[in-house]
Amino acid sequence: MFEVAEIGHKLSKKQFDELTPQLHTRLLEAQFKLQKTRHSIVIIISGVEGAGKGEVVNRLNEWLDSRGIATNAFWDETNDQTLRPDYWRFWRALPARGNIGILFGSWYTRPIVKKVFGEIDAAEFERQLKNICEFERMLADDGVIIIKLWFHMSKEAAVKRLAKEATLRKAAPETQKYLEQYDAFLPVCEQALRETEQSSSPWHIIEATNKKYRDATAAEIILNTFLQHLDAEQQHQESQHKETHFLPTQPTVLDHVNLDLSLTKKAYSTALNLAQNKLNTLSWEARKQRKSIVAVFEGWDASGKGSAIRRVTQAIDARLYKVISTAAPTDEEAAQHYLWRFWRHIPLAGYVTIYDRSWYGRVLVERVEKFAKDREWHRAYAEINHFEEQLYEHGIILCKFWIHISPEEQLRRFEERAKVPWKKHKITQEDWRNREKWHDYKTAIDDMVVHTSTQHAPWTLVPGNDKKYARINILNTLNQAIEKSLDSSSN
């Protein structure tokens, strides 16, 4: 989930200076328009220690009109607050219609800190997260616009910044203590974000290493949320708002996949043999232990999904696996919730189901091609996480692969296919059309990884320019996941 915010997003001073005047103006305009509506706005500023949340708050106060904005910090609990129910202090800080409340620390802070320091157990933590969902939904139902910003930095970057600030004596007293717990905080924060993602109050994860990028992105997100609600207000219906972008295109997680990785034929042949033998043994052992395996294959057109899947199925006894190719839904499937057709193929204990394309179609092709409405595909992140959580809780081993190739490599493969008679059928006009939407898909994939790469169901981004490397990568990942999940004592 946080991997998307560790890839070096940045703005140069020049870029920043160029875009801020316009961003600033547009923000103010939108703020003034919103003041006349029944909406109030809650902006939650949260994230890892050292990410400069205070600086962001200052910047927002500078860029927005200060009338009708109140900033509330929730880090120091007064006596007055603990003597009343938890949420009393948040109710007090809620802005009136037309106004903006910036919450520096929020209803997330205490549950997360308590969980990290072991003061509450897993069940209580989950209960508190669900209470947050109910609270936010109640506010959203009442017209409150909730903007949740999470500022992330890698541990290295955070330590480095802290060291710098310590010499400047700018660090807050708790910072050091929390930073020491960085690794403990991360999974807890991930769970908090995942379980409180709602289409009416989505999370935005912002890389905070570069301060200019951080502030400009926060402002751009806030502006777009404002515009979206103003648009909906005018139309008296669902927003058709097209996002406005001020920032230059930034790298995505896919740009960080090293596409130069490759294997020689010989190395491949040896590795394949080893990996397939292992997978065969493991799949029988999984059957014995009644552990199911679900493997999801997604990737660009011509990325080699089919041939990678064949390397997997070659290794598994035919009685044990099923491959589900996801095409357009049948009549029967279209008459149901989109998840229905995937639920029906969930394997019996001990068996393997391989999905060649999957439920992720909802947030990829259905999003890009506008088959699903904005609120539909956005809601799908939470629905998918909830679905995968149920698989995980049932003990199912879940692996998700995105096979990545470069656009150049795709073009090479398309042209090859067009030339070779027995490959011609594999390439259609649609493939060429999809290629034109490469950028839209990239955005969708990035969002997908942010929202659905979770601890118990992580995405594996497979470097696919070299098919041999990709196949071995996939087999090894599968083997590791199965091995980790099997009860080794019974071997």
Question: Whose Cβ is closer to its own copies: residue 193's or residue 470's?
Answer: 193
Question: Whose Cβ is closer to its own copies: residue 130's or residue 424's?
Answer: 130
Question: Whose Cβ is closer to its own copies: residue 127's or residue 423's?
Answer: 127
Question: Whose Cβ is closer to its own copies: residue 119's or residue 416's?
Answer: 119
| In the complex, minimum distance from the CB of residue 54 to its own copies, in angstroms, rounded to a whole number | 27
Instruction: Tell me the CA distances in angstroms from 193 to 31, 44, 184, 309, one per residue in order.
Output: 27, 12, 15, 32
Are 240 and 39 in contact by the 8 Å Cβ rule? The answer is no
| In the complex, minimum distance from the CB of residue 138 to its own copies, in angstroms, rounded to a whole number | 5
| In the complex, minimum distance from the CB of residue 84 to its own copies, in angstroms, rounded to a whole number | 5
For 280, the enclosing helix (H) or strand (E) is: helix 265-288
Question: Whose Cβ is closer to its own copies: residue 63's or residue 351's?
Answer: 351
Residue 398 is given by DSSP the state: E
Question: Taking the CA atoms of the chain, what radius of gyration do you get in angstroms?
Answer: 24
| In the complex, minimum distance from the CB of residue 346 to its own copies, in angstroms, rounded to a whole number | 5
| In the complex, minimum distance from the CB of residue 134 to its own copies, in angstroms, rounded to a whole number | 6
| In the complex, minimum distance from the CB of residue 114 to its own copies, in angstroms, rounded to a whole number | 15
| In the complex, minimum distance from the CB of residue 123 to its own copies, in angstroms, rounded to a whole number | 3
| In the complex, minimum distance from the CB of residue 88 to its own copies, in angstroms, rounded to a whole number | 6
Question: Whose Cβ is closer to its own copies: residue 254's or residue 397's?
Answer: 397
| In the complex, minimum distance from the CB of residue 439 to its own copies, in angstroms, rounded to a whole number | 29
Question: Whose Cβ is closer to its own copies: residue 76's or residue 141's?
Answer: 141
Q: What's the CA dihedral at 286, 291, 292, 294 to 10 degrees?
A: -80
CA dist 53 and 150 (Å) reads 9
Number of H helices and E strands in the chain, helices first, is: 20, 10
Between helices 305-313 and 265-288, what is the axis angle to 10°? 60
| In the complex, minimum distance from the CB of residue 144 to its own copies, in angstroms, rounded to a whole number | 7
Residue 87 is given by DSSP the state: T
* Tally of CB atoms within 10 A around 411: 14
For 215, the enclosing helix (H) or strand (E) is: helix 211-235
CA dist 338 and 196 (Å) reads 22
- Please report the beta strands in 316-440, taking only residues with DSSP state E, as ranges in sequence order: 321-325, 352-356, 397-404
Are 320 and 351 in contact by the 8 Å Cβ rule? The answer is yes
Question: Whose Cβ is closer to its own copies: residue 39's or residue 161's?
Answer: 39
Under the rule (CB under 8 A), what is the footprint of its own copies? Answer: 40, 80, 83-88, 91-92, 94, 96-98, 121, 123-124, 126-127, 130-131, 134-135, 138-139, 141-142, 144, 290, 332, 335-340, 343-344, 346-349, 379, 382-383, 386, 390-391, 393-394, 396
With DSSP H G I counted as helix, E B as strand and the rest as coil, what are the percentages for the chain, rounded to 5? 55, 15, 30
Residues contacting residue 245 through CB under 8 Å, at least 6 positions apart: 220
Between helices 429-436 and 438-452, what is the axis angle to 10°? 70
Going 387 to 390 to 392 to 395, the CA torsion angle's sign is negative
Question: Whose Cβ is closer to its own copies: residue 126's or residue 233's?
Answer: 126
| In the complex, minimum distance from the CB of residue 97 to its own copies, in angstroms, rounded to a whole number | 4
For 437, the enclosing helix (H) or strand (E) is: none
| In the complex, minimum distance from the CB of residue 81 to its own copies, in angstroms, rounded to a whole number | 10
CA dist 253 and 489 (Å) reads 38
Q: Which of 407, 292, 406 is nearest to 355 (CA)?
A: 292
Q: What is the DSSP string of 295-328?
A: EEEEESTTSSHHHHHHHHHTTS-TTTEEEEE--S
Dig out the tokens for 276 from the structure: 């397939």
